[in-house]
């Protein structure tokens, strides 16, 4: 098992890539601290892990709130004694609109979760990993983090920031045994079946990952989870600061 006895934290564990990665990490032997804003879906993931014979706990938290972040990090340390893997994944999608039509409050909402949340998570987890002298962090960016995406300027900006934070942290902690990488999903099935799909109808805008289906389908969350587990594991020992695109050819 690739993550035997490793301690992992996963944010946004109640849905999509976060849930699939939590389940796969547990299957690979990790003990998982599940973090989500949504208590119901977070506890569902916990139940699914228990059903497959894995070990996990759930901590409700808003990743953009510093006290909540300190609490989930401390709970992980108090419960399991260390943090080997941090999948810094919780994020939100903006309401599609041309830049000049974006409401001020929408900017703050996207930035506080996607950028401040990712920053705070790394900040407190890095302190623990630095003391251990080891750890692997994976941040969820997006194909919107390496190029622009129509009608999603703030989301794109936030994901470019995730890429920037990933590279900065990778550089600063490379001598301390800590690896920091990012994944860039394109269109993933779960997100598209919920809030995003609703926005297509509301705004009349169909994003490129829907119109350009090079493989003729979206990604299954598990196709991202496989990469997350690989980056978490010692198999990826020479990878840090990498921005790994898993997009079915979307950005070709
Ligand atoms: P994806 O398909 O990219 O995984 P989802 O929207 O399915 O995206 O999952 C994102 C997860 O992040 C959801 O479970 C959601 O509840 C969680 N989340 C969103 N905002 C926050 C937040 N501020 N704090 C904690 N979790 C959050």
- Domain ranges for the chain, please list them: 7-244
Q: Residue 175 Cα, ligand 1 centroid: separation in angstroms? A: 32
Residue 192 binned pLDDT confidence (cut-offs 50, 70, 90): low
pTM for this prediction: 0.95
Supply the pLDDT for residue 208. 66
Query: Mean per-residue pLDDT for 152-175?
Result: 98
d(CA 242, CA 252): 18
Name which of 161, 144, 143, 166 is nearest 153 in CA terms: 144
List of residues 6+ apart from 13 with CB closer than 8 A: 19, 21, 22, 32, 34, 35, 36, 42, 45, 58, 89
Residue minimizing CA distance to atom 12 of ligand 1: 12
Q: Do residues 140 and 210 lie in contact, with contact meaning Cβ atoms separated by under 8 Å?
A: no
Q: Residue 5 Cα, ligand 1 centroid: separation in angstroms? A: 26
CATH architecture, domain 7-244: 3-Layer(aba) Sandwich (3.40)
Measured from the CB, is residue 17 less than 6 Å from ligand 1? yes
Measured from the CB, is residue 42 less than 6 Å from ligand 1? no
Query: Mean per-residue pLDDT for 93-119?
Result: 96
- Residues 54-103: tens digit of each pLDDT: 999 999 999 999 999 999 999 999 999 999 999 999 999 999 899 999 99
Q: Which helix (H) or strand (E) is 86 found in, with range? A: strand 85-88
Atom in ligand 1 nearest the alpha carbon of residue 90: 12
- ipTM of this predicted complex? 0.96
Q: Residue 51 Cα, ligand 1 centroid: separation in angstroms? A: 23
Atom in ligand 1 nearest the alpha carbon of residue 63: 24
Measured from the CB, is residue 22 less than 6 Å from ligand 1? no
Q: Residue 44 Cα, ligand 1 centroid: separation in angstroms? A: 14
């Amino acid at each position: 098992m690739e993550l035997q006895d490793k301690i992992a934290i996963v944010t946004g564990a109640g849905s999509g890539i976060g849930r699939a990665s939590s389940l796969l990490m547990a299957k690979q032997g990790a003990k998982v601290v599940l973090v989500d804003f949504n208590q119901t879906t977070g506890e569902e993931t916990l139940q699914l892990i228990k059903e497959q014979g894995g070990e996990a706990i759930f901590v409700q938290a808003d990743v953009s709130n510093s006290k909540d972040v300190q609490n989930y990090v401390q709970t992980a340390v108090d419960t399991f004694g260390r943090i080997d893997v941090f999948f810094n994944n919780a994020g939100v999608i903006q309401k599609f609109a041309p830049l000049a039509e974006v409401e001020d409050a929408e900017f703050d909402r996207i930035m506080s979760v996607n950028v401040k949340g990712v920053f705070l998570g790394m900040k407190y987890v890095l302190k623990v990993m630095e003391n251990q002298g080891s750890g692997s962090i994976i941040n969820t960016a997006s194909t919107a983090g390496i190029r622009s995406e129509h009608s999603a300027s703030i989301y794109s900006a936030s994901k470019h920031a995730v890429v920037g934070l990933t590279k900065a942290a990778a550089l600063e902690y490379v001598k301390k045994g800590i690896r920091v990488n990012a994944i860039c999903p394109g269109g993933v099935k779960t997100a598209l079946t919920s809030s995003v799909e609703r926005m297509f109808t509301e705004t009349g805008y169909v994003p490129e990952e829907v119109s350009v289906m090079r493989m003729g389908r979206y990604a299954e969350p598990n196709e991202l989870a496989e990469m997350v587990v690989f980056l978490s594991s010692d198999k990826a020992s020479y990878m840090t600061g990498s921005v790994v695109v898993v997009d079915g050819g979307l950005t070709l």
